[in-house]
Structure 1
Amino acid sequence: MPAFDRDELDEMVNRWLEANRRCEEAGDWRPLAEFYTEDATYGWNVGPGRDFMAVGRDEIRDLALGSEMGGLDGWSYPYQSILVDDRSGQVVGFWKQLADAERPGGGTYEVAGIGGSWFRYGGGFRWSWQRDWFDLGNVTSLFVEMMKAGTLSDGMRRRLDRAASGGAVPGYYRRGESPVPIW
């Protein structure tokens, strides 16, 4: 007998995907915080030596889905494939990162490589943790290309300025020092 009901997990994924579509349309991902347990964690690696980690639903709402998604209004993250393991209660989704800005010569800005999210189901139609991955080199390259073309949003420019300021940014930790490990 599986540790988690497969129909419940499939329903969780369907609810998650629908909520993602609504949040993308609104340009505000913070409502997704309701899909996490109160003590959930959400993190990702930010290149050599740094990790991001939000601990608890409030930090997930304010940091991971709020300030970290700031400037990405208009972007979409269509899931390409989703794998569900009902024995472990884990879900893995592979997504693209697409900007709504148009390239000067036509076409869409898209982050090259593979992005994704790895979730652990916590029951009650909520995730107990999420870990993301993306190709930081390709993300950086695309942002630089968009900056040079003048198509980077004001919100993203402010976010990049904040990151480049050298000041402490909430949720960012030196590798191995986050309150919850990535693994």
Structure 2
Amino acid sequence: MNRTENPLEEVVDENGRLSMRVLMTPDMVNFSGKVHGGVLLKYLDQVAYICGTRYAGTYVVTLSVDRVDFIAPIQVGELVTFQASVNYTGRTSLEVGIRVLSENLQEQSVRHTNSSYFTMVAIGDNNKPTPVPEFKPSDTIERRRFQEAHQRRNDRMRRARIRRDRRERNPLDLLPA
């Protein structure tokens, strides 16, 4: 397929990687003058959706956000790059890891500001979960990410079992596991 047939060809490559850039503007700040965390969360969810949908070839929804680490604040005027990759696939779900880099254009400096892991579920035409293509790690980094994602999945499943057991014992216990 040539570029004229698919202008979005480079958005997500065959290994499930995506890169998206957004300039941070004054309408994105919080009361301290830094980019609002909620703005970043919105972009993170959009990036996870794009990466997951392009990889799965079908609509995906956010099942969970394992963690979002806010490492450093982002300033207005910085160019933010969201680097996403599919790290793991289950039968109907996939994990998208996202690394956020912020570039100060005047100083020409780049720093890592955020990291996160989103679990997305593929949804078929019947609005039910549908299988996703198997992810096969092709290098050392992908294999490491795959193993780490598998461990996060096991941890999520363990926490879900604990919550379910708590609810069965005491339906009014709403505390997270």
TM over 0.5: no
**Larger RCO: 1 or 2 (CA < 8 Å, sep 6+):** 1
- The answer to which structure has the higher helix fraction is 1
Q: TM-score, normalised by structure 1?
A: 0.29
Q: TM-score, normalised by structure 2?
A: 0.30
For the pair shown, which has the larger CA radius of gyration, 1 or 2? 2
